Amino acid sequence: MYLVIESLIKIVVIIGGLMGAAAYLVLVERRVAAWIQDRRGPNRVGIPLTEIRLFGLGQPIADGVKFIFKEEFVPGHVDRLLYVAAPMVMFIAAIVLFAAIPFGTVDLGIAGWAPINLVVAPGLDVGIIYIFAVSSIAVYGVLLGSWASNNKYAFFGGVRSAAQLISYEIPLGVAILGVVLATGSLRLEAIVEAQAATGVWNVATQPLGLLVFLVASFAESGRLPFDLAESEQELVGGFHTEYSGIKLMMYLVAEYLHMIAGSFLIVLLFFGGWHFWGLTGDGPVAGIGVALVRIAVFLAKVLAVILFFMIARWSWPRFRFDQLMGLAWKVMLPLGLVNLVAVAVWIEYLRTPLVAAGLPEGLVMAVAGWLLLGVAGLAATAAAPSARDNRPDRSLVARYRDAREAR
Amino acid sequence: MKSDDKSIRWVEEPPLGLAGRSYLPLLVGGMTTTLKHLVGPKMTVESPEQRHAIVDPLGYRGVHRLNRDAQGRVKCVACFLCATACPAHCIDIQAAESPWPDREKYPESFTIDELRCIFCGMCEEACPVDAIELTSLYDLSGKSREEMIFDKAKLLSVYDQTKDAEPMRSAQADLAADAARPDSGRRGEEPT
């Protein structure tokens, strides 16, 4: 019974927190985008019926009310069942994956109470596989929505989006495998605790894995520079062309949640989760004060990653579709495999003799990791499988001329 | 276009070097530009608390005004040149015999449909007596269409509102005339 109540409280907190976070991150994104474009961004909406502005903090509420009261137009040519189901699938898949995101374990210090694991699904041994599996369901939301829209632009957008999501899932998984192999566990808590125990974050030892994971999660969340499914400057909206009102909002919020989930995973896997040297301690269980500090540290890291996502959006141009696919299959997948093999070789053959020789394990791993990043990056650059010659083929011009003269 | 045309110069795109193929300099360059602008000065003018600085108020084409002469009478002589010049046909003038000895006609009513106006300034150029001018007021708004049809009183009130900030084109001559007149600056009781 206690477990049920505890779980319900956790679910309410995490869903409420996520919805609030998604709404306010939209505001943050608009402000950041405005600053980057030398504007100020929405800073007017404050408390209604007063002159109080609060830096535009009322804007998400106004946006939400507007979205809810908008006309929800369903075109006559759609497949109604799938059309209605698709955004729900996308939304539910996006929100359910937060069930396995661990915020640490808190010991309330009350006699008879076991320490509370601050995660909706505690003790989930396959945490990372669960997240990976659930986030893949987003592809169904995209495909169903685009197919049910019965519109060729939506369909093209959906096919592109699906190809992109499926392709980048492979480097994503391979990058995760490197971390899983180094930790020896699929539990996200264990991955964080391993980083906290040694004080060496995985970003130091597996920078190549981070690179692959970062690029793949950019692509998975469908944001610039990989947003060709929508590419709002060039195409109509992509797979959500035919959607409006609250259904469109579900799609947009789901995409936002994917970005948030990607940021959470990056922090959990590579930046030590709730751990910060000298601030949070390094044991798995913490008292209530330390637990709060841990949550704050964790959320601050996640926010930093999200800000990086937002700034990256305005920094780099969009990839062409063949470049996107080339980057996934010819660059990121091999790099991820190199990282995986290197971690495996390290664990199987190198770790024991080097540690026995008295070398500090973390330092050696970090040096090896960054060397690997340099060498592999250089090799990938030199081979440059993603840089395609896109210049017009002069021989084609000559052939065309010959053919015309022959006529 | 023939591909072997002598006038066509084929330019080869320079091949990408190692740095270019790694995307790295471009990624760093893009991020640097973004971060510079993120913290850089902002261009936004927070209207309506702040106003745009109008460089040349006399050259700006905003809301119209009907100028008054030194006695406070409307300067217009109802010659219809502005209404004729107007490409948007937004000026409507009804002329009547002038009550004053110095001109034959004056506008009994003078109406400008500000919603129809394209703010081209041709009325201003056409006016032989500098009676109609465009001010630098740019944020005109109203709650109904009727409100946006400016009649003579409204146009004259725009003049009263803006005359200090933006003197008339012919202000020099008027100022000289004012200096010569003993009751300068006083409004006449005549119909305006």
How high is the pLDDT of residue B186? 45
How high is the pLDDT of residue A68? 86
Q: What dihedral do alpha carbons B45, B50, B56, B62 form, nearest 10°?
A: 100
How high is the pLDDT of residue B96? 93
pLDDT tens digit sequence for B49-75? 888 888 887 788 999 999 998 888 999
pTM for this predicted structure: 0.82
Run of H or E residues at A212: helix A207-220
b/e per residue A212-251 (b: at least 16 CB within 10 A): bbbbbbbbbbbbbbbbbbbbeeeeebbbbbbbbeebbbbb
ipTM topping 0.85: no
pLDDT tens digit sequence for A173-200? 999 999 999 998 898 888 998 888 888 8
Residues of chain A with pLDDT > 70, as a percent, come to 97
More confident residue, B84 or A44: B84
Name the burial class of residue B17, with classes exposed (0-12), middle (13-18) and buried (19+) by CB atoms within 10 angstroms of its CB: exposed
User: Other C-beta atoms within 10 Å of A33: how many?
Assistant: 16
pLDDT tens digit sequence for A23-79? 899 999 999 999 999 998 888 888 877 778 888 888 888 888 888 888 888 888 888
Partners of residue A117 on adjacent β-strands: A105
In what order do the strands lie in the sheet containing A116-117?
A: A116-117, A105-106, A285-286
For residues B88-108, average pLDDT:
92
Q: What dihedral do alpha carbons B46, B50, B52, B55 form, nearest 10°?
A: -150
Question: Cα Rg for chain B, rounded, in angstroms?
Answer: 27
In 3-state terms, what secondary structure has residue B54?
Answer: coil
How high is the pLDDT of residue B32? 94
The DSSP symbol for B74 reads B
For residues A318-336, average pLDDT:
88
Is residue A148 pLDDT above 50, yes or no?
yes
Q: Token pair for residue B99?
A: 């009550």
Q: Token pair for residue A218?
A: 């950019």
Q: Token pair for residue A322?
A: 């063949």
The DSSP symbol for A78 reads S
How high is the pLDDT of residue B187? 45
Residues from chain B that touch A37, judged by Cβ atoms under 8 A, are 37
Query: Could you tell me if B141 lies within 8 Å of chain A, comparing CB atoms?
Result: no
In 3-state terms, what secondary structure has residue B17?
Answer: coil
Query: Could you tell me if A398 lies within 8 Å of chain B, comparing CB atoms?
Result: yes
Residues A315/B33, Cβ–Cβ less than 8 Å: yes
Distance CA B136, CA B139 (A): 9
Distance CA A36, CA A17 (A): 27
How high is the pLDDT of residue A177? 92
The verdict on a CB contact (< 8 Å) between A398 and B43 is no
Is residue A386 pLDDT above 80, yes or no?
no
Residues A297/A274, Cβ–Cβ less than 8 Å: yes
For residues A376-400, average pLDDT:
74
Query: Could you tell me if B38 lies within 8 Å of chain A, comparing CB atoms?
Result: yes
Judge if the upstream peptide bond of residue B48 is cis by omega within 30 degrees of 0: yes
How high is the pLDDT of residue B144? 93
The verdict on a CB contact (< 8 Å) between B44 and A40 is yes
How high is the pLDDT of residue A272? 87
Between β-strands A285-286 and B105-113, what pairing exists: parallel, antiparallel or unpaired? unpaired
Q: Token pair for residue B5?
A: 């045309």
Q: Residue A211's pLDDT band (boundaries 50, 70, 90)?
A: very high
Helix segments in chain B, DSSP class H: 18-21, 24-39, 81-85, 122-126, 152-162, 171-180
Residues A195/A201, Cβ–Cβ less than 8 Å: yes
Given the structure tokens 């609060």, which residue do they identify?
A54
Q: Is A56 left (phi over 0), alpha (psi -120 to 50) or beta?
A: left
Partners of residue B74 on adjacent β-strands: B68
- Largest Cα–Cα distance in chain A? 96
Is residue A335 pLDDT above 80, yes or no?
yes
The verdict on a CB contact (< 8 Å) between B21 and A384 is yes
Highest mean pLDDT among A217-231, B1-15, B81-95: B81-95
The verdict on a CB contact (< 8 Å) between A401 and B16 is no
Residue of A28, A29, A37 best to disrupt the B interface, most CBs of B under 10 A:
A37
More confident residue, B13 or B31: B31
**Which residue ranges form the domains of chain B, and what is each CATH number?**
64-179 (3.30.70.3270)
For A241-282, the DSSP string reads: TT--HHHHHHHHHHHHHHHHHHHHHHHHHHS-TT--TTTS-S
Between A134-143, B17-26, B127-136, the lowest mean confidence (pLDDT) is in: B17-26
The verdict on a CB contact (< 8 Å) between B31 and A400 is no
Residues A200/A282, Cβ–Cβ less than 8 Å: no
Query: Could you tell me if B8 lies within 8 Å of chain A, comparing CB atoms?
Result: no
How high is the pLDDT of residue B81? 94
Mean pLDDT, chain A, whole residue set: 87
